């Protein structure tokens, strides 16, 4: 049972919904009249992305990238592999990356460098969660849902070993659920 491994609910459905609505308002205001492409980072951002795009009340295009980092979370190499690239060209367009969590910042740093090389009109980031304690690179989201302490979290699209994504809230995973598998 997935719920057996949940230590604590960190963000409830209604807390998330209220914050996503606010973010949608800010983004709608800031990008009014601009050619905006929302770029969702699969798979973790899926819930955040689909809720946020419906709170953005201006016309947008959507596209997705899937990336994986080499090595485990503790071996932060910063080398990222593109598993799925954008379908669209973004040159001259306003791009907003939609990410689940900024942790060490290595993934986001790679994504920003990669997308900037395609010459968008602008490139910004909206992240649902930020774990500033773990940052290795000085990078931040331009729009942020919640800053959270350094816990491993799951739910609302975010996984541990591909599990827990369908939980409608963000929860702290009981360390006992992964500690036995951490050392390989």
- Chain residues in the site for ligand IMP (CB under 6 A): 44, 99-108, 152-154, 158
- Active site annotation includes 103: yes
Q: What number of other Cβ atoms are within 10 A of residue 168's Cβ?
A: 11
Distance CA 84, CA 68 (A): 10
The active-site residue, picked from 51, 100, 103, 130, is 103
* Closest to ligand IMP by CB, 44 or 145: 44
Residue in 110, 106, 155 with CA at minimum distance from that of residue 128: 155
| Residue 106 binding target from ligand IMP, Mg ion, none, CB below 5 to 8 Å by type | ligand IMP
* 43 Cβ neighbours under 8 A, 6+ residues apart: 66, 157, 159, 165
Specify the DSSP element, H or E, that contains 10: strand 6-11
Binding mask 12-51 for Mg ion (x = CB under 5 A): --------------------------------x-------
Residue whose CB is nearest to Mg ion in the complex, by number:
44
Kindly list the residues in this chain that would bind Mg ion in the complex (CB under 5 A). Answer: 44, 100
Q: Which residues are catalytic?
A: 103
């Amino acid at each position: 049972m997935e719920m057996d491994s949940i230590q604590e609910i960190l963000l409830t459905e209604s807390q998330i919904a209220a914050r996503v609505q606010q973010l949608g308002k800010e983004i709608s205001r800031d990008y009014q009249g601009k050619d905006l492409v929302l770029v969702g980072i699969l798979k973790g951002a899926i819930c955040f992305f689909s809720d946020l795009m419906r709170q953005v009340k201006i016309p947008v295009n959507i596209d997705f990238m899937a990336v994986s980092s080499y090595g485990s979370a503790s071996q932060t190499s910063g080398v990222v592999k593109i598993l799925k690239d954008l379908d669209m060209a973004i040159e001259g367009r306003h791009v907003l990356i939609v990410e689940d969590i900024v942790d060490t910042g290595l993934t986001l740093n790679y994504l920003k460098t990669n997308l900037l090389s395609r010459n968008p009109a602008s490139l910004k980031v909206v992240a649902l969660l930020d774990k500033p304690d773990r940052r290795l690179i000085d990078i931040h989201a331009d729009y942020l849902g919640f800053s959270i302490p350094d816990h491993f979290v799951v739910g609302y699209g975010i996984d541990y070993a591909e599990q827990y994504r369908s939980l409608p809230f963000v929860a702290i995973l009981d360390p006992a659920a992964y500690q036995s598998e951490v050392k390989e």
